[in-house]
Each structure stands twice: as structure tokens, then as C-alpha cells.
Chain A
Amino acid sequence: MAQAHKQPNYIAIFWWLLALTIIEVAVIFMPLARVLIAILLVGLALSKASLVAMYFMHLKFELRTLGLIAVTPILLCVLLVFALLPDLSGTPHQTVGAPAQPAKPSSP
């Protein structure tokens, strides 16, 4: 399909990516709540990744099924994050000289 479609304006995509990168770096120095900074950074990173996939990798001009195959890793990663959630919250660990944590009753 890549040959058939009209070529997108690659230089415009470049400026968008550059602008989003500058915003990303600026965001970490902003006096905002950590959670808000994290949400902004993830949103900006996903926007940039989508721009690269849609225009540079021509996913916008491919068959929809190929696009669905291409997004499966994201779904699986979200699933993996949820699978790891119990480890994120249940057992805070420290590397060196950590005070002993009181043992939690293990769930059945």
C-alpha cells in the first residue's frame, strides 16, 4: 500500500516530534505533582510513538488488520503491568541495610 498513497509531509512530522521532545524535557522541570508529570510524559511519549508508527512506518496507509497486529504488544504490556501490580504494591524492597519489614500474612 505504501506506493499507492500520497506521501505525507515528513518534515512536518519531524517538527512535531522535535516539539514534543522539547515539551517532554520541559515537563520534568515544571513544578507539578509527580503523578501529573508522569501522566503528561506517558501521553507525550505515546503521541510521539504513534506519529512514528502512523507516518514513518506508514501504518496509517496499511490494512486495518496489520494495524491491529501492530498494537497487540501494547495490550499485552498493559496486561503484564496488571499482572505485576501485586508485586508493585505488596512488597516494598530496599537494597542495602533495609529495616526488616513486618511479615504480612500471605493471602491464600
Chain B
Amino acid sequence: MSQVAVLHPEIEPVESPLTPESWGKLGMWIFLVGDAMSFGALLAAYGALRFGSTDWPHPSSVLGIGLTAFMTFLLICSSVTMVLALAAIQRGDMAGLKKFLSLTILCGLSFLGMQAYEWTHLIREGLGLSSNPWGASLFGTTFFVITGFHGAHVTGGVVYLSCYLIRSLLGRLNQAHTNQIEIAALYWHFVDLVWILVFTFVYLL
């Protein structure tokens, strides 16, 4: 049993069987598994609609691959800065935590800015939820739903990490909060992982 469980058996009677660090980490994993099923269902539906269609536009000739490849690069960078932030708090380096957390948030915000630019550009070219100049109307629907759902996750992640950055700037975060940062990092890496799949299935394939 963890130290907390020994001291406060009424609060935490037994430790989490799969994640001995905390129940919170197991909770995040279960949330992520559920969330992965949402994304999985969206991508499977995308596949069904696309391959059942005879006039689906070729994504790489309609969508900007250069920009989204750079967006992928940004999210990969943000994952690296996130693991470095976690490594920093693990060794009690709070300055390092603030630096890498800020960089992660900056990458997330840049990603969102580029997505807003991309959406604006595509909408001006005629890509809508119900029609587009290139073929199957569901091309636009699936594009906006999948990238929008992912963008909402990035937005949530930026807010989530910003809360910890503000707490660390106010001096209310220390090495004892390592587990909380680890849980937040799990969420952020998941968002990166999903983008890797979205980039492949929606943009490249």
C-alpha cells in the first residue's frame, strides 16, 4: 500500500492495482481508452463513407500536405517538451518544468492557429459541411468533424496544461505533484497519437 493509503485508510483503502502511483492515472487511462473508441468510430465511419463513394476527392491534392506535415512536426515537438517537463518535475527542477510546459502550450497554440488558418483557407475555397467543388459532399463533413473533434481535444489540452503552468508560476506546484503532471502528459501524448492517425487517414491516404 502507498504511504497515503497507510496514513488515511478511509480515504484510499487500497492502491490502484494497475497503476500503483495513483488512482487518477488509472482514471486517465480509462478515459483515454474511451476517447480512443470515439476517434476509432469516427475514423472507421470515414473509411466506410470514403470507400463506398465513387467521387471522393483525393485528399492530398485538395488539402495542403505541407502545412499539415508541419503541424504534425509541431505536435511531435510538443510531446517531447511534455516528457521533458515531466522529467524536470521528477527531479524537482521547477524552472525546467515552467520552461517545458510553456513550450508545450506554445506548440499547442501554434497548432490551433495553423488549423484555424487551414480551415479558413479551405472554407474560402468552397469546402463546406454539406458541399464542396471537388466531389462527394461527405468529404467536407468528415473532414470538419474529425479535425474539429481533434482540435477541440488540443484546445482542452492547452487549457489543462495552462492550469498547471499558472499553478507553477504562483509557486503552488512542487515535486509532490509529479503524478498530476504525469496524468496531464498522458492526455497530451494521446492527442499527439490521435493526430498521427488523423494525418495519415484524412490527409495522406
Interface residues of A (CB under 8 A from B): 1-3, 7, 10-11, 13-14, 17-18, 21, 24-25, 27-28, 38, 41-42, 44-45, 48-49, 52-53, 56-57, 62-63, 65-66, 69-70, 72-74, 76-77, 80-81, 84, 87-89, 91-96, 98
A91 to B49, CA, bound (A): 10
Q: Give Cα distance in the complex from A57 to B19, angstroms.
A: 13
Q: Which residues of B contact A45 (CB under 8 A)?
A: 196-197, 199-201
Whether B82 lies near A73 (C-beta < 8 A) is no
Q: Is the CB of B37 within 8 A of A73?
A: yes
B76 touches A18 (CB 8 A): yes
Contact across chains for B44 and A95 when beta carbons are under 8 A apart:
no
Interface-side segment among B6-14, B145-153, B182-190: B182-190
Q: Could you tell me the dominant secondary structure of chain A's interface residues?
A: helix
Leading 3 A-B pairs by shortest Cβ distance: A77-B40, A45-B200, A73-B36
**Stretch in B53-61, B114-122, B164-172 touching the partner:** B53-61
For the A-B complex with A28-B60, A95-B53 known, give 7 more contacts whose Cβ atoms are closer than 8 Å: A10-B87, A41-B200, A56-B79, A65-B18, A76-B37, A80-B40, A92-B53
Cross-chain pairs A/B with CB under 8 angstroms, 25 sampled = A10-B80, A14-B77, A14-B79, A18-B76, A28-B204, A38-B205, A42-B200, A45-B199, A48-B196, A52-B193, A56-B82, A57-B190, A63-B19, A66-B18, A69-B33, A70-B32, A73-B33, A74-B40, A76-B40, A77-B44, A81-B47, A92-B54, A93-B54, A95-B138, A98-B54
Report Cα–Cα, A84/B199, bound state, in Å.
22
Q: Are the C-beta atoms of B41 and A80 separated by less than 8 Å?
A: yes
A77's nearest neighbour on chain B, judged by CB, is B40
**B residues bordering A, Cβ < 8 Å?**
18-21, 26, 29-30, 32-33, 36-37, 40-41, 43-45, 47-48, 51-55, 60, 65, 69, 72-73, 76-77, 79-80, 82-84, 87, 90, 135-138, 178, 182, 185-186, 189-190, 192-193, 196-197, 199-201, 204-205
Cα of A92 to Cα of B51 in the assembled complex, Å: 8
In the bound assembly, the distance between CA atoms of A13 and B76 in angstroms comes to 10
Q: Which residues of B contact A56 (CB under 8 A)?
A: 79, 82-83, 185, 189, 192
Contact residues in B for A53 (Cβ distance below 8 Å): 189, 193
